[in-house]
Structure 1
């Protein structure tokens, strides 16, 4: 016995079932009030609505081989829908949802635009291709058993069912379906989308009970709201600032920058490693591939303009109160660095972010800012 084959078969079955769950999950997003998605009620996935015409039953097939005239997926599905224990009157639409493409020579290609009479004729023409020897064999193949069972049905019943059948071919595979689902939520950062998907998939599986498995519109909407509240960022949040202190090499590399020269000018040399560290941390944060980068950049520019406007007033006051150029300049520097950041919405930014922005502004020749004050 080849254990690999058994394992592979089990995995294939599991993946096909998961695909069925994703189809049902996708349908949940279109639920209206009073509607529900059911799994394994009358088949794979059913959308039940107070309006019968809006109700649908879907058979899900995750196959690579083409859908041909004699493919089991078509005939087995039709047989199930014609069975006495299946009440087709509950549904306005019956869907064969398959990843298969139509076969090159199949007579099924125009199915969805054909009349009931034409659909019946197509089945009759396909069935007519069977020889008497095939039909009357002592042990006919499974597909012939299915075809005989379908074509032996009462014609009125057959027409009623065929009139509701839609063939949905070349359906998205599981990966594409997940992408489609992940395109639905709004306001959830990219890095949280997989958590959102896993939360919904887990919710769907958790609704399976011993005798039924369904998700109603109200419960699904509530779960979506819960996950959105958990995973979205109601307020902008900053990248992590750790208060990085520059190394001797980094200080040396940046010693000629204007913002470093302006600190040296007031003989506050011991503050330079912290200043370079704050400046570097800010620059690195602007280079990170953040989901919110455009928003972060825009807010940073606006916040820096606020800081500069405030600093000009503080510098002007320090100039008026100055008694000693170096001492007064150092006091202005210390006061500015220690000052708590201005609020940004409901957030207080990291102090290193604020200080990095001030050094960045000092580095901009056009702003013409300086630490030095003159008595």
Structure 2
């Protein structure tokens, strides 16, 4: 996989550095996306290979060279001739494939003889190449005759001519004909951005829109995971199907399992000094729960973020959330009243605070009730619901959420 996207498509005023590898990584992502599309077409007994036999390979069926380029595909372009050279390698088993594909984002050049390639026979394709080589040689000869002072240098074949000579060498003619019988050229392939958008449109309809990027990121991460690369970069039908099933189950519009939460990222957003004055925090501090404050704040953000995401994706509706909140409040109030019965007669403020903190820890450690039917509802989420309730000021003070047992 290689690329020569325009270096001008950069940040304004930025000068590209000679060791800037951004385009290489963009090209790899493009190759992985092409491979993903091929994986969808795999039969149960098939596998896809990356890089081992070329860019994207399905043994016995197709070998595809992928080019992310911005210029036109012309008669002498290296993408065409170098691809042929690769397929002529003595160790490349070209006859095992039904098709050999050059897939490129390039469009055919206006004057190129390659335009009718896919409709031509192998013999006609060879003729096209012979005309290209003859034209290239004539151009070189004409240049040499018009510039006698550089005749010696002009007589030396250019890099492009050397590539053409290698491919057209008569000793490789049989191998070349085997390639030409199978070769197809796909031009004007979608750009990386278009391919990403197309993937969303074709394959992510069952997925929550807010998780499109996460789904694609994780799928591409799987495609180039270290285990796969180390063991030969083979992706089996089963492995790909299992990964799709996992991601779909996790991010589907109407999930059965509680959505995953990036706890580490949310934890970084917690500022204790901002939280300390909040109503829910004050209720923890009044029972001596200073050490519990940061974790409580994190759980509150988990609950708020999860509910917000599910609202955005149309998975939740307000009555469903209100019912869960009401149920949690009712259960908590009964639990608190029971704990207060055990505190009857206790007047020591220190003892009451200690018992209240134990009650806090006991309640937070309970198994979580399923949220809206979602399996494996996180206790951190349920605890966050407690802290959301503790932050409210109801019209009826009897409905207020407290941790204190007095």
Scaled by the length of structure 2, what TM-score is found?
0.56
Residue 144 of structure 1 pairs with residue 165 of structure 2? no
Match of 1:29 among 11, 31, 40: 40
Residue 45 of structure 1 pairs with residue 67 of structure 2? no
Residue 201 of structure 1 pairs with residue 220 of structure 2? yes
Residue 177 of structure 1 pairs with residue 195 of structure 2? yes
**Per-residue deviation, 1:102:** 0.4
Match of 1:190 among 187, 190, 209: 209
- 1:211-250 per-residue CA deviation (whole Å, 9 max, x = no partner) reads 611111000000111111111233699xxxxxxxxxxxxx
**Per-residue deviation, 1:133:** 8.5
Q: For residues 165 and 249 of structure 2, what CA distance do their matches in structure 1 show? A: 54
Q: For residues 240 and 257 of structure 2, what CA distance do their matches in structure 1 show? A: 27
- 1:41-99 per-residue CA deviation (whole Å, 9 max, x = no partner) reads 11111112xxx3xx111111111100011111100101111121211022111010100
Per the alignment, residue 6 of structure 1 pairs with 18
Q: Which runs of 5+ in 1 are unaligned?
A: 238-284, 304-342, 351-375
Q: Is the 8 A contact 2:102 2:186 kept in 1?
A: yes
Structure with bigger gyration radius: 1
Match of 2:313 among 288, 291, 296: 291
Q: For residues 238 and 40 of structure 2, what CA distance do their matches in structure 1 show? A: 11
Q: Is the 8 A contact 2:73 2:108 kept in 1?
A: yes
CA RMSD of aligned residues (A): 3.7
- Alignment CA distance shift 1:236-1:36 (3 Å): closer
Q: For residues 76 and 373 of structure 2, what CA distance do their matches in structure 1 show? A: 65
Per the alignment, residue 62 of structure 1 pairs with 68
Per the alignment, residue 218 of structure 1 pairs with 238
**Per-residue deviation, 1:177:** 1.1
Q: For residues 46 and 113 of structure 1, what CA distance do their matches in structure 2 show? A: 23
Match of 2:255 among 234, 249, 255: 234
- Alignment CA distance shift 1:290-1:123 (3 Å): same
Q: For residues 36 and 257 of structure 2, what CA distance do their matches in structure 1 show? A: 30
Q: Which runs of 5+ in 2 are unaligned?
A: 1-13, 142-151, 259-306, 324-369, 375-384, 386-406
**Per-residue deviation, 1:346:** 4.3
Q: For residues 15 and 70 of structure 2, what CA distance do their matches in structure 1 show? A: 24
Scaled by the length of structure 1, what TM-score is found?
0.60
Q: For residues 210 and 46 of structure 1, what CA distance do their matches in structure 2 show? A: 17
**Per-residue deviation, 1:209:** 3.0
- 1:310-330 per-residue CA deviation (whole Å, 9 max, x = no partner) reads xxxxxxxxxxxxxxxxxxxxx
Q: For residues 231 and 140 of structure 2, what CA distance do their matches in structure 1 show? A: 41
Q: Which deviates more from structure 2 when the two are superposed, residues 192-201 or residues 206-215?
A: 206-215
**Per-residue deviation, 1:139:** 3.6
| Aligned length in residues | 259
- Alignment CA distance shift 1:211-1:84 (3 Å): farther
